[in-house]
Structure 1
Amino acid sequence: MKIAIAHDYLTQFGGAERVVLSLMKAFPEAPIYTTLYDPDTTFPEFRSADVRVSPLNKAGAMRGNHRMALPFLAPVSSRITIDADVVIASSSGWAHGFRTNGRKLVYCHSPARWLYLTDEYLGSHGASSVIRPALAALRPVLKRWDAQAAASADRYLANSHVVQERIKHVYGIDSDVIFPPHRVDLDGSRELVPQIADDWPDFHLLVSRLLPYKNVDRAIEAFNDLPDERLVVVGKGPLAAQLRSKAKANSLLLEGIPDAQLRWLYANATALIAPSHEDFGLTVVEAAAFGTPALALRAGGYLDTVEPGLSGYFFSHPKAADIADAVHRHRERPLDRDAVAEHARGFDEDAFIGRIRNEVDLLMAGAFADRKHPHPA
């Protein structure tokens, strides 16, 4: 049986890309099809994979900023044709539209945020003033394309219950939930970050892409008002300079750190700050694997991954005051780190791989024939 993996674009370090790494482990012979790939800006494990790219990948500027490729991604995705018995499409907007002569299993991180949750995705910062009118003009065409792409799937899986509801609302398609796995190597080497280890023995951690809807600015505002607390932000994105200018001396922004340093940060943080509305929110589970609890927004995928009072505390709004209140609550009632780590074991990679392999077997056996939506992408 020929298996292939599809993914929107491999140009960044993110939870969706980590899922593709787990799919590679589940199906080590499978090639990976994608629109854009930059080995220098995503996980190094992809260098050893059979990554097959679209002609769009020749445009270096688009590899560096996939948002620039927005007007081209739908037609390019429709021209990618995969010869396989089963294509597993890891998709948040494009890979579900790749064509195949076999069956298509879509693992959906979310229906396209930029199409259905535009204001949340773009925010009010920087390039949004340029992208927003272009997206408004393209939206009717892209929605038609997206509906046809979704209908071409034989089977949909959601990465959380909130995404499951969104798939039903947007596409009218029933799906089942398989939580994405954490892939942190608990036994891997840990490399301390000197400027933190020496000066900040006690710190909070936030791991996120620096995008408007991630609410990193609200977390920095909260710690600006907590002079006795420390915040380490790990991530990169278009808001980096703006966030650095806003942060006081008790917040530190890092980007491009090796996994060994990230493991050390996860293991030594007092708590992980998770202020955005995530479809799943993998960093919460990664931190929990090291026994580090989460202070998370009561919304989205965190409702699946955080057990309040056991593995973390919720706050109700992505506002500085709410985040600061959660920090105070955890200081007053710190959580047991062994219990947090035990909670994380329910999201390990072996469980994910077993379920995905089972889904492929069921699909080939025709178990979901009644769910097929026979419309070409």
Structure 2
Amino acid sequence: MTLLSIRSRTTTGDGQTAGTVPLAIAHDYLTQRGGAERVVLALHKAFPDAPIYTTLYNPENTYPEFKDCQIITSPLNHFKIFRKDHRLALPLLPFFSSRLKVDAHRVVVSTTGWAHGFDVPQDALVYCHSPARWIYLTDQYLGNRLNKGLARIFKTMRPFLRRWDRAAAMRLPNYVANSSTIQQRIFDVYGKRADIIFPPHSVQDGQQQEPIAGLEDFMERGYFMIVSRLLPYKNVQYAVEAFSGLDHQLLVVGAGPMLDELKSMSTPNVAFVSNISDAQMRCAYAGSTALLAVSHEDFGITPLEGGAFGKPTIALQAGGFLDTISEGINGAFINTPSVQDIRKAVQELDSQQYSAEAIKAHVKRFSEERFIDQMKARLVQTS
């Protein structure tokens, strides 16, 4: 039996599956668009017949390519409220994650906190984007915007969640980290030593581009661009505030619970767009002056996506950006995500000092083909 000879199978009405397959993919939830979901799509490309197990799936809010995949969900997926906001399912996720049986001989797990707790074989390969932020980096992840009811529930459950999470991690020996930052965090939290396989970027120059309706005039004048989920720890609020009073424009691409708040604090030189197609994203990258990446990221993929179009990045000197930014080659660092540091860097950036060809050469080190080859090789090593 080889890893590539994967048979398809059917899903019954109650979410159960018929027959055990050679290999399956597991992921926390498919309810949003982000780097972790891009990794799952790359894994699907590597193993196109492998079913994808997940707790929740919202096809309208994640990448449309998942509609061509075989998605197997937990019973939680029957509830629209949880598909709309997975955070509301927090008290239930440990129970339903532990009981989601992945019916396969081998499993590749993509996780930021739940999928490594699925019922998977002990030799599963765990690709860890980060130990759960909401458990171990609570203040950074949630900021001060968690409503009081959820805050009380979370405070009560956090000791239990930590025990559940560590027990899940201790059961599975084969961990891979997505960056040097996460490699250290895995050791600090779980005591595990993990190799690094950098995730891929999949946005490519030279492919079809599509203008974003309603923003044609805005995009013709040039703009900085930030691509992010709109959550407190992403620091988009500071970038939006930094552009107040500047002659430069900012395009914010992303969705999340802070959208209305960010719009209310923005000035006319800031525009927002959500859930755009890949062709529209390529158009946005191609027309930008530079990227902003000012959050505490586990890896930091947007500089690579922008870099595929030869665009430099202003990045926070922390986390995953230490792996993806080579200062003076594909970007410049700021020390803090403060309004002052962001504004100063934007005003001082001279995009002409960067070589588009040098930037493109740098980001080729993080190709999808390289990621797939390394993941397949690691699967063979652990079989």
Give the shorter-chain TM-score range. over 0.9
Q: How many angstroms apart in 1 are the aligned matches of 2:68 and 2:204?
A: 19
SS of 1:338 mapped into structure 2: helix
Q: Does the CA contact (< 8 Å) of 1:87 and 1:104 recur in 2?
A: yes
Q: Alignment partner for residue 124 of structure 2, among 91, 100, 104?
A: 104
Structure 2 equivalent of residue 185 of structure 1: 204
* Per-residue deviation, residues 189-235 of structure 1 (Å, max 9, x unmatched): 11123544424421100001110111001001111131x10000011
The SS at the match of 2:226 is strand
User: What do residues 296-334 of structure 1 show as CA deviations (whole Å, max 9, x unaligned)?
Assistant: 000000000000111000000010110111112313863
Aligned-residue CA RMSD (Å): 1.3
Residue in 2 that maps onto 1:346: 365
Tell me which residue corresponds to 1:368: none
1:265 CA displacement: 0.9
Correspondence list, 1:107-126, <5 A: 107-125=127-145
2:27 maps to 7
| Corresponding position of 1:367 | none
Q: Please report how far the alpha carbon of residue 101 of structure 1 lies from its aligned counterpart in structure 2 after TM superposition.
A: 3.7
**Alpha-carbon offset, residue 152 of structure 1:** 1.6
Structure 2 Cα separation of the partners of residues 93 and 100 of structure 1: 15
The structure with higher relative contact order (CA 8 Å, sep 6+) is 1
TM-score after normalising by structure 1: 0.93
**Aligned residue among 318, 332, 335 for 1:313:** 332
Q: Which residue of 1 aligns with 2:274?
A: 255
- Structure 1 stretches of 4+ with a deviation exceeding 6 A read none
- Letter of the structure 2 residue corresponding to residue 211 of structure 1: L
What are the within-5 Å matches in structure 2 for residues 162-173 of structure 1? 162-173=181-192
**Residue in 2 that maps onto 1:38:** 58
Question: For 2:102 and 2:187, how far apart are their aligned partners in 1?
Answer: 26
Task: Using the TM superposition, give the Cα deviation of residue 188 of structure 1 relative to its aligned residue in structure 2, in angstroms.
Answer: 2.0
Pair 1:334–1:245, CA change in 2 (3 A): farther
> Aligned partners of 2:96 and 2:271: how far apart in 1?
40
Q: CA deviation at 1:82?
A: 1.6
Q: Structure 2: where are the runs of 5+ without partners?
A: 2-21
Distance 2:117 2:357 in 1: 43
Q: 1:212 aligns with which of 232, 242, 246?
A: 232
2:47 counterpart of 1:27: yes
Name the CA distance, whole Å, in 1 between partners of 2:148 and 2:129.
26
1:374 aligned partner? none
Offset from partner CA, 1:13-41 (integer Å, 9 cap, x none): 11100000000011111110000011111
Amino acid at match of 2:252: V
What is the count of residue pairs matched by the alignment? 362
The percent identity for this pair of structures is: 48
**8 Å contact kept, 1:83–1:102:** no
The change in CA–CA distance for 1:83 and 1:105 in structure 2 (over 3 A counts) is: same
| Contact 2:107/2:121 (<8 A) preserved | no
**Distance verdict in 2 for CA 1:318–1:51, change over 3 Å:** same
Give the deviation of 1:177 after TM superposition: 0.6
Task: Give the alignment of 1:1-377 within 5 angstroms.
Answer: 1=1, 2-101=22-121, 103-125=123-145, 127-193=146-212, 195-199=214-218, 200-226=220-246, 228-331=247-350, 334-364=353-383
Please tell me whether the aligned partners of residues 92 and 108 of structure 1 are also in contact (alpha carbons under 8 angstroms): yes
Deviations 1:146-196 (A, max 9, x none): 011101213100010000000000000110110000011323211123544
Identify, as 1 or 2, the structure richer in helix.
1
- 2-structure distance, mates of 1:196, 1:39: 25
Whether the 8 Å contact between 1:85 and 1:103 is mirrored in structure 2 is: no
Q: CA–CA distance in 2 between the matches of 1:60 and 1:195? A: 30
Q: Is the 8 A contact 1:85 1:101 kept in 2?
A: yes
User: Taking structure 2 as the reference length, what is the TM-score of the superposition?
Assistant: 0.92
The CA distance in 2 between the partners of 1:194 and 1:339, in whole Å, is: 32
